Amino acid sequence: TGRFDPAVADVRWQARWDEQQCFAADTSSAKPKTYVLEMFPYPSGRIHMGHVRNYTMGDVLARYRRMQGREVLHPMGWDAFGMPAENAAMERGVHPGEWTRQNIATMRAQLKRLGFALDWSRELATCEPDYYGHEQALFLDLFDAGLVYRKESEVNWDPVDCTVLANEQVIDGRGWRSGAPVERRRLSQWFLKITDFAEDLLQGLGELENWPDKVKLMQENWIGKSRGLQFRFRLAEAIEGTDQVEVFTTRPDTIFGASFVAIAPTHPIAEALAARDPKVAEFIADCRRGGTSAAEIETAEKKGFDTGLKAVHPLDPDWRLPVYIANFVLMEYGTGAIFGVPGHDQRDYEFATKYKLPIKRVVAASAEEAGQPIVGEAEPMDGIAVNSSFLNGLTTEQATAEVIRRAETGGWGKGTTTYRLRDWGVSRQRYWGTPIPIIHCESCGAVPVPRDQLPVVLPEDVAFDQPGNPLDRHEGWRKVSCPSCGGTALRETDTLDTFVDSSWYFIRFASEPEDRPYDRSEVEQWLPVDQYIGGVEHAILHLLYARFWTRALNRIGRLGMSEPFKGLFTQGMVTHETYRAGDGSWLSPDEVKRDGDDWIHIESGKAVTPGRVEKMSKSKRNTIDPEPIVARYGADAVRWFMLSDSPPERDLEWSEGGIEGASRFVQRVWRLASTDQAAEGVDEALSRKVHRTVAAVGEALEGLQFNKAVAQLYELTSAIEKSKPSKTRSEAIRTLVKLTGPAAPHLAEEAWVALGEQGMVVDAAWPAFDPSMLVDDQVTLAVQINGKLRDTLNAPRGLDRAAAEALALGSEKVQRQLGGNAPRKVIVVPDRLVNIVA
Ligand code: ANZ
Ligand code: ZN
């Protein structure tokens, strides 16, 4: 008795679970298997509330499945490569490996303190050779299968720091450190052929029933399948032996709205023109400035160069269109050339406005609106073709089909299916990543590192005193002999995109032999992951890459499935109020206090304006560090609060009141368990309540509606508190403890002992319920007088005729209606109706 002391209980039970290896997943177990996975964290330094919420949800599910008698795999690891470690190295002179490993140690201890039911024996960190060495082997498998290739591609180049920048290091077109305008440079880089799987990745979405629709839609849009037309414009006069420009459009129906043709600055025709005209060369060089991200290109000012060439319209030989070189046309997409329709494409509209080209309406909401001018901006719409010769009156879809048909029969074009999805560029010109296991030889070209020489380990002795990739400067590491001819050769110094690391970690968790990436049959015991839980920020890239990687392994015969994640859940964020001082600077929650209805800055005593409730973030300083909270309230209260206040897919606002409430609940359950007394007697109503709660909590957990489960448990707790001692009550307390186990496991174990029970709650079976007890024990009786409804009354189920009649006649409304007269006859339909004939 007394209060529940989490400081003691948390440590005790964490040690006990550890000793008994409760959460070690046994692949050879005969029990049905469940794989619960949360997205593994980046070891940034400390655990934040978002992690706590994410891992608590996964933990509740894992523990619930375990109590249901399943063998559960619930692992944890570290997505440990990436830029922040290199930034720390540059800023503070600490080696990225040391920084990362220290962070992992801190965060591991913080996770352990929360009592998560994790199989720590399977812990992995992607920055260790015993992980990335296997990744190198898989990369070479894909290389052998022709799914990896090298090609020139553009990167962001910082001309002052002389280094390649990741897209996120380009801020408003400038290098994040140097502040210099970023240029585009062409470099040879490695690519994975994800486009080979575009259609399959799209089709596969259809089978993912337990994925949020919004995520599937985002993936669909990213893959971006569209029907289009590829066709040739004849050039009125040839240039360097070329007399045509091939363009690609997804809107063939707008062909009569064309007012120019535009080619990419790196298009062969542009390059041919540049060779003889320095003005063209200068324009092309100018286009190179600015970042490579789609957003950057999209928002950059539209610029063009009129080549003087003329293109002949395919449906009207007398119609000539000017040919421009334009900065917004990308060589990597379609054919690197377009026809511009200013009326219906915003980029073309801006371009036409600038260069005074015609802007014509060719699509309208109805044929009557053909004469409406296009004003202010383009109208990118579907509708009816207008001002378009033989297409007039056709819908967008019909007009598209008609133009494709004419192009194909006329032999000047071909209908196509295209995908927006690009091949995955995996080269990063950085140190802290998986070395790409390739050796470049002057005579043999790119040679894979022989398998028996894997892993290619990152050298430790590197310096970050200069910008760029230290691997490029590490002669001792770079210079090797060619595995094929024995001559001097150089290692590839690019490392893999960290998304490669996270594309297969869930496979390695399921099986981790030392000598190969995984054992197929072991993996197939566990995968696909039954429930994957993480942030919606990974809805596109990470999930798409993991789906691709799984398919690629499937294609090369190394895995018998194509979807890695059967169920996906994306949880909401943890938010908090923001506070601002008079000068506009952000204040942290510890720096302010409430003063009546206002807030004041503790140090200066000045008033503070509370701002909006926003996602906890360092920049707004509205974070709450979980560690001191756990130290103060215990793991269970924190876990309980993470589940309580909001549906899991919505944002959860951190509040002092919320954590206090959770902590009080923990004490209430403890009080029930610690003061339980043996008593006789059955409490029918409480018994029904227990059965109903078991059913409802199970249903809520199946649907990951944790807040509903919590609400049910609050109700049951209140009902038990109100009940008198009985055998039912004692049983109800035991059931409550088991139901609370997944969310508040330390409390549950401690309570179990207090109740004098044997074993541990983690090993206990999830309570069953009796379906017949779910039926409501109250019914609603309709009371009629001469067939007219006069009253409805609550009555216990199974009331006999005489009692039902007495109840009905006792009703005030009935008595008023009868006006003192005795009824002539009373008809009773048990549990439903009493009809009084007056
Ligand atoms: C004529 C047209 C009219 C277009 C219209 C759009 C709207 P999505 O849907 O993203 O695939 N385009 C084609 N290749 C391009 C390239 N290499 N660089 C820049 N733009 C390119 O976009 C396809 C559309 O983007 C194509 O259809 C083409 O413009 C443009 F009212 O052709 B459209
Ligand atoms: Zn060689």
Element at 438 (helix H, strand E): strand 438-441
Confidence of residue 166 (pLDDT cuts 50, 70, 90): confident
Other beta carbons within 10 angstroms of residue 662's beta carbon come to: 24
Kindly state the average pLDDT of the residues 493-516: 97
Ligand that lies nearest to the alpha carbon of residue 403, given by its number in the listed order? 1
Ligand that lies nearest to the alpha carbon of residue 480, given by its number in the listed order? 2
- Among 249, 261, 361, the mutation site with the greatest number of ligand 1 atoms within 8 A of its Cβ is 249
Pseudo-torsion of CA 725, 728, 733, 735, nearest 10°?
180
Per-chain mean pLDDT for the chain: 94
Atom of ligand 1 nearest to the CA of 328: 19
Residue 126 CB contacts under 8 Å (≥ 6 apart), including other chains? 77, 78, 79, 80, 81, 132, 135, 434, 498, 501, 502, 505
The pLDDT value given to residue 436? 98
Ligand 2 centroid from CA 142, angstroms: 21
Residues with CB under 6 A from ligand 1: 226, 248-251, 254, 328-330, 333-334, 336, 338-339, 341, 344-345, 380, 420
- Among 250, 297, 325, 328, the mutation site with the greatest number of ligand 1 atoms within 8 A of its Cβ is 250
The pLDDT value given to residue 162? 78
Ligand 1 centroid from CA 347, angstroms: 9
Ligand 1 centroid from CA 250, angstroms: 6
Confidence of residue 367 (pLDDT cuts 50, 70, 90): very high
Confidence of residue 324 (pLDDT cuts 50, 70, 90): very high
- Among 330, 345, 374, the mutation site with the greatest number of ligand 1 atoms within 8 A of its Cβ is 345
Kindly state the average pLDDT of the residues 54-63: 98
Is residue 785 over pLDDT 70? yes
Ligand that lies nearest to the alpha carbon of residue 381, given by its number in the listed order? 1
Percentage of the residues of the chain whose pLDDT score is greater than 90: 80
- Tokens 């609060």 belong to 641
The pLDDT value given to residue 511? 98
Ligand 2 centroid from CA 154, angstroms: 28
Ligand 2 centroid from CA 446, angstroms: 9
- Tokens 């004692």 belong to 730
Ligand 1 centroid from CA 333, angstroms: 9
Q: For atom 31 of ligand 1, which residue has the closest CA?
A: 344
Ligand that lies nearest to the alpha carbon of residue 445, given by its number in the listed order? 2
Q: For atom 28 of ligand 1, which residue has the closest CA?
A: 249
Is residue 592 over pLDDT 70? yes
The pLDDT value given to residue 755? 97
| Structure confidence by residue, pLDDT tens digits, 255-272 | 999 999 999 999 999 999
3-state DSSP assignment of residue 229? strand
Ligand 1 centroid from CA 404, angstroms: 16
Cis peptide before 823 (omega within 30 of 0): no
Is residue 93 over pLDDT 80? yes
Atom of ligand 1 nearest to the CA of 334: 14
User: Between 706-722 and 684-702, two packed helices, what is the crossing angle to 10 degrees?
Assistant: 170
Atom of ligand 1 nearest to the CA of 336: 17
In order, the DSSP letters of 102-124 are HHHHHHHHHHHHTT----GGG-E
The pLDDT value given to residue 604? 87
- Residue (of 190, 312, 326) closest to 258 by Cα position: 312
**Buried b vs exposed e over 571-598: b needs ≥16 C-beta within 10 Å?**
bbbbbbbbbbbeeeebbebebbeeeeee
Kindly state the average pLDDT of the residues 393-409: 96
Confidence of residue 754 (pLDDT cuts 50, 70, 90): very high
Please compute, for residue 534, the number of CA atoms within 13 A of its CA located in the half-sphere on the CB side: 20
Q: For atom 18 of ligand 1, which residue has the closest CA?
A: 329
- Residue (of 455, 543, 457) closest to 502 by Cα position: 543
In order, the DSSP letters of 766-803 are PPP--GGGTS-SEEEEEEEETTEEEEEEEEETT--HHH
Checking 552-558 for CB contacts under 8 A at 24+ apart, the result is 552/142, 552/145, 552/147, 552/192, 552/197, 553/138, 553/504, 553/507, 555/145, 555/147, 556/141, 556/142, 556/145, 556/147, 558/141, 558/520
Whether 21 contacts 59, CB under 8 Å:
no
Ligand 2 centroid from CA 146, angstroms: 20
Please compute, for residue 81, the number of CA atoms within 13 A of its CA located in the half-sphere on the CB side: 23
Query: What is the spatial distance between Cα 273 and Cα 279, in angstroms, rounded to a whole number?
Result: 9
Q: For atom 10 of ligand 1, which residue has the closest CA?
A: 420
| Structure confidence by residue, pLDDT tens digits, 440-452 | 999 999 999 999 9
Q: For atom 2 of ligand 1, which residue has the closest CA?
A: 251
The pLDDT value given to residue 583? 84
Ligand 1 centroid from CA 248, angstroms: 7
Is residue 1 over pLDDT 70? no
The pLDDT value given to residue 408? 97
Atom of ligand 1 nearest to the CA of 340: 1
Atom of ligand 1 nearest to the CA of 255: 1
pTM of the model: 0.83
The pLDDT value given to residue 16? 98
Helices then strands, counting H and E runs in the chain, come out as 27, 37
Q: For atom 7 of ligand 1, which residue has the closest CA?
A: 345
Q: For atom 9 of ligand 1, which residue has the closest CA?
A: 250
Ligand 2 centroid from CA 487, angstroms: 6
In order, the DSSP letters of 724-744 are PS-HHHHHHHHHHHHHHTTTS
Is residue 87 over pLDDT 90? no
Is residue 315 over pLDDT 70? yes
- Among 230, 246, 251, 302, the mutation site with the greatest number of ligand 1 atoms within 8 A of its Cβ is 251
Beta bridge partners of 593: 600
Confidence check on the interface: ipTM exceeds 0.85, yes or no: yes
Ligand 2 centroid from CA 478, angstroms: 15
Atom of ligand 1 nearest to the CA of 363: 31
- Among 338, 344, 387, the mutation site with the greatest number of ligand 1 atoms within 8 A of its Cβ is 338
The answer to the question of whether 618 is labelled as a binding residue is yes
| Structure confidence by residue, pLDDT tens digits, 328-340 | 999 988 899 999 9
Whether 575 contacts 653, CB under 8 Å:
yes
Query: What is the spatial distance between Cα 255 and Cα 532, in angstroms, rounded to a whole number?
Result: 46
Is residue 619 over pLDDT 90? no
Ligand 1 centroid from CA 420, angstroms: 11
- Among 248, 339, 347, the mutation site with the greatest number of ligand 1 atoms within 8 A of its Cβ is 248
| Structure confidence by residue, pLDDT tens digits, 170-219 | 888 888 878 999 998 889 999 999 999 999 999 999 999 999 999 999 99
Which residues lie at CB < 5 A from ion ligand 2?
Answer: 441, 443-444, 482, 484-485, 487
Query: What is the spatial distance between Cα 523 and Cα 131, in angstroms, rounded to a whole number?
Result: 16
Across the chain, which distance is largest between two alpha carbons, in Å?
117
Phi and psi at residue 188, to the nearest 5°: -75, 125
Query: What is the spatial distance between Cα 579 and Cα 585, in angstroms, rounded to a whole number?
Result: 8
